[in-house]
A and B are shown apart, each in its own frame.
Chain A
Amino acid sequence: MPRTFQGDALEHALRTARVDLPAERVEIVRDTAEAVYAMLDQLDTLELGETPPATALNARWE
Chain B
Amino acid sequence: MTRMDTLVPTVSEAVAAIRARTLSPVELTQAVLARIERFEPALESYVEVYAEEALAQAREAEAAVGRGDRSGLLSGVPLALKDLYDVAGKPTLCGSAVRAGHLAAEDSAVTGLLRAAGAVLVGKTVTHEFAFGVVSAPTRNPWNTDTIPGGSSGGSAAAVAAGLCLAAMGSDTGGSIRIPAGLTGLVGLKPTFGRVSKRGVAPLSWSLDHTGPLTRTVRDAAMVFQTITGFDPADPDSVDEPVTNVLAGLDSGIDGLRVGVPANHFFDGLLPEVGDAVRAALDVLVSAGARLVEVTVPDVEISSEVITTIVGVEAALIHQAEMAARAHDYTEDTRTRLIAGAAIPGTAYVDALHRRRRVVAGFQSALAEVDILATPTLPVTAPPYGSDPAQVMPALSRLTAPLNAAGLPGLAVPCGFADGLPISMQLIGRPFDEATILRAGEAYQQRTDWHTKQPPLTE
Contacts and interface: CB of A to CB of B under 8 A. Distances in A.
Interface of A: 10, 13-14, 17-21, 25, 28-29, 32-33, 35-36, 39-40, 42-43, 45-46, 48, 51-57, 59-61
A10 B343 CA distance: 8
Contacts of A52: 357
Contacts of A55: 350, 353
Contacts of B343: 10, 13-14, 17, 19, 33, 36
A35 B393 CA distance: 14
A57 B364 CA distance: 14
Contacts of B351: 40, 43
B339 A54 contact: no
Contacts of B213: none
A60 B350 CA distance: 20
A43 B358 contact: no
7 contacts: A14-B342, A17-B316, A32-B337, A35-B340, A46-B302, A48-B358, A51-B355
Contacts, number: 108
Nearest to B339: A29
Interface stretch (B65-73, B142-150, B221-229, B304-312): B304-312
Nearest to B299: A46
Nearest to A49: B358
Interface residues of B, number: 47
B203 interface: no
A56 B207 CA distance: 7
Nearest to A29: B339
Contact of A19 (B306, B342, B355, B364): B342
Interface string B297-336: 0010010111011001000100010011000000010001
A33 B154 CA distance: 27
Contacts of B357: 51-52, 54
Contacts of B123: none
Contacts of B309: 36, 39-40, 43
A43 B320 contact: no
A36 B341 contact: yes
B239 A36 contact: no
Nearest to B405: A57
Contact of A39 (B194, B305, B339, B358): B305
Contacts of B316: 17, 19
B401 to A, nearest CB: 12
Contacts of A19: 316, 323-324, 339, 342-343
Contacts of B193: 57, 59
A21 B430 CA distance: 44
B356 A57 contact: yes
A59 B340 contact: no
A36 B308 contact: yes
Contacts of B304: 39
A43 B342 contact: no
Contacts of B336: 28-29, 32
Nearest to B431: A59
B348 interface: yes
B305 A43 contact: yes
Contacts of B337: 32
A36 B344 contact: yes
Contact of B354 (A10, A40, A54): A54
A59 B348 contact: no
Contacts of B431: 59-61
A45 B353 contact: no
B192 interface: yes
Contacts of A36: 308-309, 312, 340-341, 343-344
Contacts of A10: 343
Given A19-B343, A59-B408, A61-B360, 15 more contacts: A10-B343, A19-B323, A19-B324, A28-B332, A29-B339, A32-B337, A43-B306, A51-B354, A51-B358, A53-B354, A54-B354, A57-B207, A57-B356, A59-B407, A61-B431
Nearest to B351: A43
A28 B430 CA distance: 42
B235 to A, nearest CB: 13
A51 B361 contact: yes
B444 to A, nearest CB: 25
B355 A43 contact: yes
B432 interface: yes
B352 interface: yes
A3 B309 CA distance: 16
B20 to A, nearest CB: 39
